[in-house]
A and B are shown apart, each in its own frame.
Chain A
Amino acid sequence: MIPAAFDYYRPKDMAGVLALLQEHGDDARVMAGGHSLIPMMKLRMAEVPHLIDLQDVPGMSEISIGDGKIRIGALVTQHDIIAHEGLAQSAPILREAAMQIADPQVRYMGTVGGNLANGDPGNDMPGLMQCLDAQFTLVGADGERSVAAREFYEAAYMTARADDEVLTEITLATPNGGYAYEKQKRKIGDYATAAAAVQITRDGSRCASASIAMTNLSDVPVWSQSAGSALVDTEVGSDAIKAAVAYMLDEIDPTEDNRGPVAFKRHVAGAILTRAIQRAWSRA
């Protein structure tokens, strides 16, 4: 559990970060909370000759809410998410999800930006941000660009972010309606066997809109448009939920691991999604 030697940098501004990324290319990695990258380095599964710590770069630790938008800096920790009263009011699904990530000690360090940028299929925030249709701000040598969460993930640990870019901010429209983040895990600190993020709005007795994403059931998070659509214009009864689940099961592609075989994961995915939809609808 001892990493290979590496150089450690702690630039004071983003220009410094970008200069280092330019200089060292894919030999460099930026680090926020370090709770994904450091263990990988200790296991010598990730070799990072140049480690760039973002902690001294200003302007990425804020949460701001206004004009129907929520902005979350990349260095905002899971603990910050949980503790932020305004966020609990305007996007309670974030707190519900963050509460189910790892344990308090990890949540004090682990950041939203790191969780999103690492591209680990086990991370909870990517699926959640797809559910909420968030936009990620990426800053590179050529300036700033925005990529939709739903477009960001290409494969396990592969994202639309270029090696010399930094994910700096997450922006999303303030969600409406009922919500649920449902996660099954073997124990505290574990990744999901299956997790579902559901945000749903109601028009009278019928569903007006629904967005559904699931985590750790493929090499990328799975946002299923058809699963959401299956609920719209229904009363979210058992048939509609079954239809939504069926669409989702078509799109996930779990693999066997110590959490269990594929058949089990598919069954659990269905059960978890059913419960998430029911809970979200009950809150809509």
Chain B
Amino acid sequence: MKDDVELTREDRVANLKGMGCARKRVEDARFTQGKGNYIDDINLPGMLHGDFVRSPYAHAKVLSINTEAAMALDGVIAVLTAKDLEPLSLHWMPTLAGDKQMVLADGKVLFQGQEVAFVVATDRYIAADAVELVEVEYEDLPVITDPFEALKSDIVLREDLAGQTSGAHGPRKHHNHIFTWEVGDEEATNQVMDEAEVVAEETMYYHRTHPCPLETCGSVASMDKVNGKLTVYGTFQAPHVVRTVASLLSGIEEHNIRVISPDIGGGFGNKVGVYPGYVCSIVASIVTGVPVKWVEDRMENLMSTAFARDYWMKGRISATKDGKITGLHCHVTADHGAFDACADPTKFPAGFMSVCTGSYDIPVAYLGVDGVYTNKAPGGVSYRCSFRVTEAVYFIERMIEVLAIELNMDAAELRRINFIGKDQFPYQSALGWEYDSGDYHTAWDKALKAVDYEGLRREQSERVTAFKQGETRSLMGIGLAFFTEIVGAGPVKNCDILGMGMFDSCEIRIHPTGSAIARLGTISQGQGHATTFAQILASEIGIPADSITIEEGDTDTAPYGLGTYGSRSTPVAGAATAMAGRKIRAKAQMIAAYLLEVHDDDVEFDVDRFVVKGAPERFKTMAEVAYAAYNQAIPGIEPGLEAVSYYDPPNMTYPFGAYVCVMDIDVDTGVPTIRRFYALDDCGTRINPMVIEGQIHGGLTEALAVALGQEIAYDDMGNVKTGTLMDFFLPTAWEVPNYETDHTVTPSPHHPIGAKGVGESPHVGGVPCFSNAVMDAFRAFGLRHSNMPHDHWRIWQTAQDLGLHK
């Protein structure tokens, strides 16, 4: 400790690598050397392998399943069907959205790729061969892939729900209807619309897409019949919730279940839900008494595990002639597929879609959402966003553009005059949210200045002239987006999943020699928690981040938490980390005071030590305090230095940002070229600028994908047309433009360190920004709106419809 005396305070701060430090990600040493430990790396002695027989039909009766030939194949141990699961009541399972879902086809199939039988064999290759040998006799039924048709059709998709006029979210209007969810005052909104000087209307389809993490979903279940313990390794974004669900479903007491999320190769919402593969691997392990692994392949991932979006949104926005918005009306027809397996907090069947008033001061609004069954895969997860927030932000950012067209007004100016003002925070939105903080005008002005917005508009107008004169076949689009995210679910009073309040947790142990371990209820899927949470703690307790291990994902060791999705880790578990750190500090202060022989109140914390007030040469470092905590009897203080905190956030956090995209569009080929992308993010207090930048690059890239081509498309027969990465657009370095990142800092007033979460902001803001750039290019030629994804042919079609091809 003597050396420390020589260090300046600045040096001591730097040594901690605490908040604000662009510390390199500690995870990357193993990931970049191929030393990660993903689900498929887990191999247990005697382990068997499972594989699914899946339905080639989108809607069919299952007349018979003959497993004889498959069972006859050497190495096949079992072929499970719904009949085998029925005695255990596991042929169906509850979904997170209050519906139920077939684990294995029970008499019929409702989407292409649905799980029909589960083959268990001694190796993965035999399992795949045996899948081919299972003979399933189907009788095909009429297929519905359109939600509007579903609501009119006599065909009953969910015969198991026949006659049920009410579901988990209230009355059902039709046998293919799931729920109606309404927020806001429709009558008042309609009245405002009727009286408005200007009303703009638009219908838009936010297409179905898929999170497509690089690692697909999988699990390894291991039932130890001797001690009655079940261990389940899996690609779980919420391991603790999985344990509770597994206990409720299986009847195994929760203490006898250990759920482990190992390294996860991306989640983006795809790994929040519970899938039939998890259940089947567990049942198969219970039946066989040996470990059973199930890992899906890419096609299975795209076809059967949770999709995102698929929202038909009809909007009306009213304003004065000067552009002051007076009201917003939104109705959504939500295609949930065959089962309602959305991953939303229980009381929010359309997630936080009600943040669709965006960043604007809109006095009156209404949102209605109707959920509908179709013959498509179940899901409806938040793909790199908080619950349905990408849909909400895309909706409002399109409505703003449409209103700007209606008013013949500049869309940047229209945004500016309608922003919620800095002095209006905390702001009560018309649809019930309390925005915690924001400074939108500053961010917007900074963004527009950075890109020379007026210069861009001049250039664009010159381009239009040149195009009209036949001098170029290229148009220029300027995409604008201003978004407000709503993340960090959430207050236990209104946010739960399956009844579990959405708090999160952190438990810290300081070791005698001054290093530490902290365990959290969240689980990183690439976000870099081991890096950033250590930085929060370093700043809170004065132990260098390099001396702090962060551990997550093992339910036997980590405190209970609701997991990682919806940018909730930093807002919730990050807060728990800071709070637990403060408990450590409080106890450490008493120990330091004792060691320094002064009163508790006469010492103060300074970076990495406790100093006697007014006598900076008299201090004890946190390391010295830790040693004393374990090695010295201190009157009135328990030995040890540990703390745990469960944090129930008082509110969500509201990160925001201002994005601008400049795009050139080749009118004859439909090829867009992104010339420039500027992203200003305000995520409150910034923990690690480098991790933030990485998050923004990743989120923008997924936004580019969704806006410009990524979709799960079905034909009329319910066949998935985009089941491989040949057709499902996953951008590589080649397709990705250079991103310019920037920021403002408006700390959250209620978060212990002022942080708001950032991982999903770029996706939420990026999708409308890329899309608006495409549509803006055609504004001068009369385009109001065209649906995503803006792949080459759809852009070409837009130009064609506008008569731009001679």
User: Residues of A at under 8 Å CB distance from B?
Assistant: 1-2, 4-5, 44, 103, 184, 186-191, 193, 258-261, 263-264, 267-268, 271-272
- Pairwise interchain contact A186-B298, C-beta atoms closer than 8 A: no
Q: Which residue of B lies closest to A184 (CB)?
A: B669
14 A–B contact pairs at CB < 8 A?
A: A5-B125, A103-B732, A184-B669, A184-B671, A186-B709, A187-B729, A187-B732, A189-B732, A258-B713, A259-B792, A260-B792, A264-B793, A268-B670, A271-B668
**Contact between B669 and A258 (Cβ–Cβ < 8 Å)?**
no
Query: With A4-B129, A186-B791, A260-B792 given, is the CB distance from A268 to B729 under 8 Å?
Result: no
CB contacts (< 8 Å) of B184 on chain A: these are: none
Q: Tell me if B444 counts as interface (CB < 8 A to partner A).
A: no
Docked Cα-Cα span, A264 to B801, in Å, equals: 12
Question: How far is it, in angstroms, between the C-alpha of A251 and the C-alpha of B115 when the chains are bound?
Answer: 45
Given contacts A103-B732, A186-B791, A187-B735, contact A2 B128 (CB under 8 A): yes
A65 to B412, CA, bound (A): 61
A269 to chain B, nearest CB (A): 10
Rounded to whole angstroms, the CA-CA distance of A203 and B627 in the bound complex is 90
Q: Judge whether B709 and A260 touch: CB under 8 Å.
A: no
B124 interface contact, C-beta 8 A: yes
Q: How far is the CB of A63 from chain B (nearest CB, A)?
A: 27
Chain A residues whose CB sits within 8 angstroms of the CB of B792 once the complex forms = 184, 186, 193, 259-260, 264, 268
Residues of chain B in range 727-744 having any CB-CB distance to chain A below 8 Å: 727, 729, 731-732, 734-735
Verify A189–B726 contact, CB threshold 8 A: yes
Q: Which residues of A contact B734 (CB under 8 A)?
A: 103, 187-188
A22 to chain B, nearest CB (A): 28
A187→B713 CA distance, assembly (Å): 18
Known: A2-B124, A2-B297. 16 other contacts (CB 8 A): A1-B298, A2-B128, A4-B132, A103-B732, A186-B709, A186-B792, A187-B709, A187-B734, A187-B735, A188-B735, A189-B725, A189-B726, A258-B713, A260-B791, A264-B796, A268-B670
Complexed CA–CA distance, A264 and B729 (Å) = 19
Judge whether B793 and A260 touch: CB under 8 Å. Answer: yes
Interfacial chain B residues near A259, Cβ < 8 Å: 792-793
Chain B neighbourhood of A193, CB < 8 A: 792
Within 8 A of A (CB), among B653-681: 668-671
Q: Categorize the interface residue count of chain B.
A: 20 to 34
Task: List the B residue with the shortest CB-CB distance to A193.
Answer: B792
CA distance A256 to B54 in the complex (A): 27
Whether B796 lies near A268 (C-beta < 8 A) is: yes
For residue B670, which residues in chain A have a CB less than 8 angstroms away from its CB?
A: 264, 268
Give the complex CA separation of A267 and B805 in angstroms. Answer: 9
Contact B793–A1 (Cβ < 8 Å):
no
Determine how close the nearest CB of chain A comes to the CB of B694; give it in whole angstroms: 21
Question: Is B190 among interface residues, defined by CB-CB distance under 8 A?
Answer: no
The distance in angstroms between the C-alpha atoms of A243 and B731, with both chains bound, is: 37
A272 to B731, CA, bound (A): 23
B712-732 contact mask (Cβ, 8 Å, vs A): 1 or 0: 010000000110011101011
B437 at the binding interface (Cβ < 8 Å)? no
**Beta-carbon contact of A267 and B796 below 8 Å:** yes
A180 to B297, CA, bound (A): 39
Asked if B797 is at the interface of the complex by the 8 Å CB criterion, the answer is yes
State the Cβ distance, B736 to closest chain A Cβ, in Å. 11
Given contacts A186-B792, A187-B735, A261-B793, contact A267 B124 (CB under 8 A): no
Chain A residues within an 8 Å CB radius of B128: 2
By secondary structure, the A interface counts as loop
User: Which of B125, B669, B796, B805 contacts A272, CB < 8 Å?
Assistant: B669
Check B71 for interface membership: any CB of A closer than 8 A: no
Residues of A within 8 A of B722 (CB): 258
How far, in Å, is A144 (CB) from chain B's closest CB?
A: 36
| Complex contact B796–A187 (CB within 8 A) | no
With beta carbons under 8 angstroms apart, the residue of A4, A258, A268 that contacts B668 is A268
CB distance from B731 to the nearest CB of A (A): 7
Is the pair B726, A267 in contact by a Cβ cutoff of 8 Å? no
B299 CB–A CB distance under 8 Å: yes
Chain A residues with CB below 8 A from B793, complex form: 259-261, 264
**Cα(A268)–Cα(B222), bound, Å:** 55
Q: Which of A5, A263, A268 contacts B669 (CB 8 A)?
A: A268
* A1 interface neighbour in B299, B671, B721, B791, Cβ under 8 Å: B299
Closest to B734 in A: A188
Query: Do A271 and B669 have beta carbons less than 8 Å apart?
Result: yes
List the 5 shortest-distance A-B pairs measured between CB atoms, nearest first.
A260-B793, A2-B128, A271-B668, A1-B297, A264-B793
Q: How far, in whole Å, are A44 and B709 apart by their CA atoms in the complex?
A: 27
Q: Known contacts A2-B124, A5-B125, A187-B731: does B671 contact A260 (CB below 8 Å)?
A: no
Is B129 in contact with A5, judged by CB distance below 8 angstroms? Answer: yes
* C-alpha gap A122/B459 in the complex (Å): 39
Would A258 and B129 be within 8 Å (CB), given that A190-B726, A272-B669 are in contact?
no
* Cβ-closest chain A residue relative to B51: A2
Do A258 and B299 contact each other (CB < 8 Å), given the known contacts A2-B128, A268-B668?
no
Interface hits, B508-527 → A, CB 8 Å: none
Residues of B within 8 A of A261 (CB): 793
Inter-chain CA distance A2–B722, complex, in Å, is 19
A188-B732 in contact given A259-B792, A259-B793, A261-B793 (Cβ < 8 Å): yes
Interface string of B621-643 (1 = CB under 8 A from A): 00000000000000000000000
Which residue of chain A has its CB nearest to the CB of B127? A2
Q: Residue A186 contacts which of B299, B713, B721, B729 (CB distance < 8 angstroms)?
A: B729
Q: Whole-angstrom distance from the CB of B671 to the nearest CB of chain A?
A: 7
Chain B residues closer than 8 Å to A263, beta-carbon distance? 800
Residue among A2, A186, A190 making CB contact with B125, cutoff 8 Å = A2
Task: Check A264/B797 contact, CB under 8 A, given A2-B125, A103-B732, A186-B709.
Answer: yes
Bound form: Cα–Cα A95–B682 in Å:
46
CB neighbours (8 Å) of A1 from chain B are: 297-299
Residues of A within 8 A of B669 (CB): 184, 268, 271-272
Q: Which of B671, B727, B731 sits near A258, CB closer than 8 Å?
A: B727
Docked complex Cα distance between A19 and B297 (Å)? 37
Quote the shortest CB–CB distance from A182 to chain B (angstroms): 10
Inter-chain CA distance A96–B726, complex, in Å, is: 22
**In whole angstroms, what is the CA distance A272 to B796 when docked?**
14
- Alpha-carbon distance between A103 and B731 when the two chains are bound, in angstroms: 13
Q: Would you give the 0/1 interface string for B763-806, flagging 1 where the beta carbon is closer than 8 Å to chain A?
A: 00000000000000000000000000001110011001000010
Cα A5 to Cα B133 in complex, Å, equals: 14
Q: Which residue of B lies closest to A264 (CB)?
A: B793
A6 to B128, CA, bound (A): 14
A131 to B423, CA, bound (A): 69
Given the complex of chains A and B, what is the CA–CA distance between A267 and B800 in angstroms?
A: 10
Closest A residue by C-beta to B793: A260
CB distance from B494 to the nearest CB of A (A): 42
Which residues of chain A come closer than 8 Å to B299, judged between CB atoms?
1
Contact code string B734-762 (vs A, CB < 8 Å = 1, else 0): 11000000000000000000000000000
Minimum Cβ distance to chain B for residue A156 (Å):
16
Point out the residues of chain B lying under 8 angstroms from A190, CB to CB.
Answer: 726
Please name all residues of chain B whose beta carbon is closer than 8 Å to the beta carbon of A189 when the two chains form the complex. Answer: 725-726, 732
Q: How far is the CB of A237 from chain B (nearest CB, A)?
A: 16
Chain A hits for B125, CB < 8 A:
2, 5
User: A4: which B residues are within 8 A, CB to CB?
Assistant: 129, 132
Q: Give the docked Cα–Cα distance between A190 and B721 (Å).
A: 15
**In the bound complex, do residue B735 and residue A260 qualify as a contact, i.e. CB atoms below 8 Å apart?**
no
Name the residue on B nearest A4 (C-beta).
Answer: B129
C-alpha gap A261/B791 in the complex (Å) = 12
> Taking the nearest CB of chain B, how far is it from the CB of A189, in angstroms?
7
Chain B residues with CB under 8 Å of A184's CB are 669, 671, 792
Complex alpha-carbon distance, A103 and B732, angstroms: 10
Cβ–Cβ < 8 Å partners of B725 in chain A: 189
CA distance A210 to B726 in the complex (A): 33
**Chain B residue with Cβ nearest A270:** B668
Which chain A residue shows the least CB distance to B796?
A264
| Of A1, A103, A187, A263, most B-chain CB atoms within 10 Å | A187
- Residues of B near A268 (CB, < 8 A) are 668-670, 792, 796
**Residues of B contacting A186 with CB < 8 Å?**
709, 729, 791-792
